[in-house]
Structure 1
């Protein structure tokens, strides 16, 4: 199978030189994704709202790859502020509760101070 690249339309992908997601065989790798509404290029201040938008952005990329959040096998969360993680738990369960992927959390700075969560996933496409 040929490698397929998926774009969200974010200007960052073109400027920096990466894809929102890459399909290679049965696997889909979705880049670290933040809570930007790519249509409006805005980001909410609230971490929970950002988490929801992030999952919507990821779901859109996975749909283009022929899969869904239920196909996620691995997830990496990056949260700059420790206190922001626990409020996101219900959102994580809402979006990944069926998949229950292997998961890692890292506390680290993100590209801008406005970004309060970044999520990266790996999925396996259904047969």
Structure 2
């Protein structure tokens, strides 16, 4: 089996010991991703902005793997405050208008207080 590790350069990846994504046998497993702008290591305050940043990071990892957000088959959303979840719906419904992945939303504490959403996805690299 061929395995490819994709990294964003986030200090969390190095400090904790994980990859942003792992590609194995045509599957792309993207780690839980938060709303940091990794170029500046800043976190916007609004959950909507964090959600957009998260999808941007995920999209870049998927592109490096040879996939897109349209290839996502499974998504998990994790939010510390369930009241923030409906604010993300316009973003998630647009991002996944084509893919329509199986989805789960969980309420749980995240690594840092400023983090308002974490998203992980599984995608399949298109064949051919």
TM-score norm. by structure 2 comes to 0.98
CA distance in 1, matches of 2:112, 2:12: 13
CA distance in 2, matches of 1:23, 1:46: 31
Give the structure 1 partner of residue 45 of structure 2: 45
Give the structure 1 partner of residue 18 of structure 2: 18
1:66 pairs with 2:59 = no
SS in 1 for 2:48: helix
RMSD: 0.6
Q: Deviations over 1:57-98 (max 9, x none)?
A: 000000000000000000000010011000100000111111
SS in 2 for 1:116: coil
Give the structure 1 partner of residue 122 of structure 2: 122
Q: Deviations over 1:86-114 (max 9, x none)?
A: 01000001111110000000000000110
CA distance in 2, matches of 1:80, 1:99: 26
Q: Deviations over 1:20-75 (max 9, x none)?
A: 00000110000000000000000000000000000000000000000000000000
SS in 2 for 1:43: coil
Give the structure 1 partner of residue 95 of structure 2: 95
Give the structure 2 partner of residue 28 of structure 1: 28
SS in 1 for 2:75: strand
Deviation at 1:3, TM superposition (A): 0.4
SS in 2 for 1:30: strand
Runs (5+) with no aligned partner, structure 1: none
Regions of 4+ moved over 6 Å = none
